[in-house]
A and B are shown apart, each in its own frame.
Chain A
Amino acid sequence: MAAEPEAGAVAKPIGLPLAVMAGVVGSLVGSDPGPGRVLWMGRRCWPYPPSLVGRGGDRRLLERSVFVDPPTRDERLWAMDVALRSSAALVVVADGAGLTMAGSRRLQLAAEAGGTVGLLARPHNERGELSAAATRWLVSPGPVDGADPARPTWTVELLRRKGLRPIAEDARRWAVRLDDGTRLVSVDAHVSNRPAATTGPGRWSAQRSG
């Protein structure tokens, strides 16, 4: 299944939503003990490797990360297709700028064939483009976290899910941050220390990938 977080904000567009995607991937890696790899496709889509090691010292995400640099857009599409079809990949994260509808359909089919989760980051100005992705998300800067005001937070909003009628505006928006293990938790989770998986996008992707 391919999910498409889109970079974009209410105020200003941010770059590729690497932290949110790392958080989704971190949640998936944490719940999957197998050897499946995380592939980061496209140099723009490579997170700074030390940021993948949680403050708790959990290296599983970094150890299972493979950084791939396809030189052209066509090569990138090919590499994603191969990786999504392979059972050796757990998640494929890619820079999806300039992806056509045909390309996204190809990736969606590959993801369904391989049972792999694909995350595509698309710039804000491509928000109107058609896409075959199962879900689309909008990522924007989030509210200030009371526990640590300097900590980065994001708002993720479910824009569209294939085959599902629209849900209420406030029920499809979550404020999230990264926890010490590079997993996505909701901003108020420090109170009960409860992960946001029950409503957060982490579970979403994991559930659909089967």
Chain B
Amino acid sequence: MGVVPGLPVAQARGVLPAGSVRIETHTPERDAVRLRALAVWARRFSPLVQTDGVDGLWLDITGCAHLFGGEAGMREAVETGLARLGMRCRVAIADTHGCAWAVARYRDDPIVPPGEQRAAIAPLPIAALSVDEPTVAALAELAIDRVEHLLQIPRSVLPSRFGHELLLALDRALGHAIEPLNPVRPVAPCRSERAFDGYTTNVEAIGLAVRELLGDVCAQLHGRGRGARRLVVELGRYELATLPTTITTSVPTNDAKHLWVLARPKLERAHLGFGVERVAITATRDALIVQRQGEQWGEREDTSKAGVAELIDVLAGRLGPSSVRGAVLSESHLPERAFEWITPMAKRQGVDIRPPGERPTTLLDPPVPTTALALTPDGPVHRIHWRGEDRTVIACAGPERIGSEWWRGNGSTRDYFRVRCEDGCCLWVARARENGRWYVHGVWA
């Protein structure tokens, strides 16, 4: 598309089709987290992976390449794997990290045969040695642009002029100096497991084991300062597949008692088969528990906030997560789009949306077509047909004109009236502007 890093926003807007530009601030710390996650992913190629700078991964593939059919096959496997994740990459394979770094960034032929790093980096620019900007500039003043120029200079003069870093970088690229690798270690999920002495169908014994395991997992989570969002309770059954039961919570928790309340009804319904031999609990998803210092007067509030989450978990655990909801206003004038369902503990957005005018307590979806009588085309309603009978309107307020957003294109506009009938029922009546049809869209019940 022609958009490259460093391009001003205005030019990017000019190059790309209208509406496809989304601007977000750069967050290096989030990049670092994602790169670390990618490093954990890359452990499928080699057990030793390290994040390298802000945009690279360093894999020690000693003894791994043959599993992928040699170095060329490995390179292809990495490239296709990343492409599946929607990322493009440059892969280089060499004897040393420094050489691979340089080749990945400054040369097109990616694989350096063993022992040939000197020949590989010689034609590359000085920047390929991963040295800082001032050193590159200082060398450029001396017309030393390429690594091969540097290699011709006696080693002894380099440190006094350019510092030890340059020589170290050169040595590391050539394999004369050691460069230690500090591999990422993925955090294993908190897990606890127990085996029974033989098979049992005793629900109470299984329940007791689950409670103890929950306590154990919660203690592990507590030690990490985290709380479970999702737990899997696995029952190892005799001659049957392992039965996993999932418990989800609306906020991270490490309260074993609460988790037991959620787990118990599921276990009671579990099919135990001929007996259970083994119980294991894994916290498959956890999140940081934000610890807040208790206020001298406000501590009560914090504990009952936890109570809200527990109540919602208990309800959602039995009725299903979509049966327990919260609602927020959304940015639309159309009554049917004026709110959105959210999960009850979700962070509330849209707090600055202007509240609508008077709205009925029940919105009919879809609006009920009806017939009404108005004396003038835009005037108040006089009679309306509703629930099988014609009703005389004793008061009518409006119209409130509500149109759909212009970007939706269909441009339907409705005039809404608040109508009170003779028998006291209050309706929210709409007239479609384009065809003059009447609808009852809501009721004040």
Contacts and interface: CB of A to CB of B under 8 A. Distances in A.
A82 B315 contact: yes
B123 interface: no
A65 B312 CA distance: 12
A50 B324 contact: no
Contact of A78 (B301, B318, B329): B318
B424 A140 contact: yes
Chain B interface helix/strand/loop/mixed: mixed
Interface string B293-320: 0000000010011011011101100110
Interface in A54-113: 54-57, 59, 62-63, 65-71, 75, 78-79, 82-83, 86-89
Contact of A63 (B323, B348, B357, B445): B348
Interface string B398-431: 0000000000000000000011100111100000
Contacts of B418: 150-151
25 contacts: A11-B423, A15-B445, A18-B361, A18-B362, A19-B361, A19-B444, A19-B445, A35-B301, A35-B304, A47-B361, A48-B359, A49-B327, A49-B329, A49-B339, A59-B351, A66-B312, A69-B323, A69-B324, A82-B314, A83-B315, A148-B395, A149-B420, A150-B397, A150-B419, A152-B420
Interface string A2-33: 00000101011011111100100000000000
Interface residues of B, number: 51
B397 A79 contact: no
Interface in A89-145: 89, 140-142, 144
Contact of A150 (B324, B360, B396): B396
Interface string A151-169: 1110000000000000000
A116 to B, nearest CB: 11
Contacts of B325: 66-69
Interface of A: 7, 9, 11-12, 14-19, 22, 34-37, 47-57, 59, 62-63, 65-71, 75, 78-79, 82-83, 86-89, 140-142, 144, 148-153
Interface string B350-365: 0100111111111100
B203 interface: no
B356 A53 contact: yes
Contacts of A153: 424
Nearest to A53: B355
Which 3 A-B pairs rank lowest in CB-CB distance, beginning with the nearest?
A141-B424, A149-B395, A88-B307
A123 to B, nearest CB: 12
A65 B361 CA distance: 14
Contacts of B355: 50, 53-57, 59
A67 B363 CA distance: 15
Contacts of B419: 150
A83 B307 CA distance: 11
A144 B396 CA distance: 12
Contacts of B362: 15, 18, 47-48
Contacts of B394: 144, 149
A82 B360 CA distance: 30
Contacts of A22: 361
Nearest to A143: B424
B98 interface: no
B383 to A, nearest CB: 15
A83 B397 contact: no
Contacts of A152: 420, 426, 444
A34 B348 CA distance: 17
Given A35-B304, A75-B319, A144 B395 contact: yes
B163 interface: no
Nearest to B307: A88
A70 B308 CA distance: 18
A15 B443 contact: yes
A15 B362 CA distance: 10
B335 interface: yes
Contacts of A140: 424
Nearest to A7: B445
B338 interface: yes
